[in-house]
Amino acid sequence: MSGSFGKEDAPIGIFDSGMGGLTVMRALMARLPNERFVYLGDTARLPYGTKSADTVSRYAVQAAGHLVRRGIKLLVVACNTASGVALPALEKAFAPLPVVDVIGPGADAALAASPKGPIAVIATEGTVKAGAYPRAIQARAPDVEVMSQACPLFVPLAEEGLIDGVIAELVAHRYLDPVLAQKPEALVLGCTHYPALKGTIGKIAGPGVALVDSAEIAARTVAKRLADDGLLRGGTAPPGHAFLATDAAERFARVGEIFLGIKPDAVELVDLQ
């Protein structure tokens, strides 16, 4: 595998359980327009957030392994659940490949928005159960109060394109009202699918609560890591991107625009077994 690393022209690999990680890719494309990306959505096994930690780790290693075989120079774990439970396994399996997750950058962004708290985190059941965000935030600021709320229906809502309107608002109220009653100053969108629902979430949270999306901070982290490692892509050739899915490639191409902002190019169906 060592021959895959250290190539400036090699792509950046991104994986998520579905299409939510396209919000991270969108931020990366904006910050690093000269880079090539290969994105893998494990749509056949979506969602990761309701799976056990062992299962998520196994899926994450399989997804990352597929990207590594395509010669990536850096891996972005654009899935909060996988970031929370599978990061050590990924770093061990694919060393010395640089690996960037979304939870560390998300914790930094949350504290930038609310240095003294309280901070609320909404995420999948798996991310909440793992305690990844409270651990990351309190490692940086031990006295900051952090509260968490699982929002399992947000992922299917986002994947179905039901990002506003009555259904989205009713579900959002069901999850957010108990958290907002505790008066947080910042609300972390602790799943890469959730920015698709930012309009609805912001409407319910109100202007006094800062919404924290880790995608931009993660993109900044990736840019710094590439620069530090001398891996920034040079030249003027168009970058070109690849999109992979483990199921429903046509649906991925259609709904992916909600997350990416533009319609993904042709989506290739892959098997991770």
Question: The CATH number of the domain where 25 resides is what?
Answer: 3.40.50.1860
Q: Are residues 43 and 67 in the same domain?
A: yes
List 19, 68, 79, 172, catalytic entry: 79
Q: Are residues 181 and 88 in the same domain?
A: no
Q: Are residues 240 and 263 in the same domain?
A: yes
Last residue of a domain, which of 194, 215, 236?
Answer: 215
Residues 6 or more apart from 169 whose CB is under 8 A from it? 200, 203, 204
Q: From CA 252, how far away is CA 232, in angstroms rounded? A: 29
| pLDDT value at residue 258 | 87
| pLDDT value at residue 221 | 93
Q: Are residues 162 and 81 in the same domain?
A: no
Q: Are residues 202 and 227 in the same domain?
A: no
Q: Are residues 221 and 93 in the same domain?
A: yes
Segments forming the whole domain that contains residue 221: 2-101+216-269
pLDDT tens-digit series, residues 102-159:
999 999 999 999 999 999 999 988 889 889 999 999 999 999 999 999 999 998 898 8
Q: Is 158 helix (H, G, I), strand (E, B) or coil?
A: helix
Mean pLDDT of 190-214: 93
Q: Are residues 16 and 96 in the same domain?
A: yes
Instruction: Return the ∠ at Cα 76 (arms to 74 and 193), rounded to 5°.
Output: 160
Mean pLDDT of 164-176: 97
| pLDDT value at residue 1 | 41
| pLDDT value at residue 47 | 86
Counted domains in the chain: 2
- Of residues 122, 20, 77, the one with CA closest to residue 221: 77
Q: Are residues 70 and 38 in the same domain?
A: yes
pLDDT tens-digit series, residues 215-269:
888 999 999 999 999 999 987 777 789 999 999 999 999 889 889 999 898 899 9
Last residue of a domain, which of 172, 189, 215?
Answer: 215
List 12, 103, 191, 196, catalytic entry: 191
Last residue of a domain, which of 215, 243, 260?
Answer: 215
Q: Are residues 77 and 138 in the same domain?
A: no
CA 141 to chain centre: 23
Active site residue 191: yes
Q: Are residues 112 and 134 in the same domain?
A: yes
The side-by-side arrangement of strands in the sheet containing 186-189 is 146-150, 119-123, 186-189, 210-212
Q: Are residues 58 and 189 in the same domain?
A: no
Q: Are residues 253 and 165 in the same domain?
A: no
Active site residue 151: no
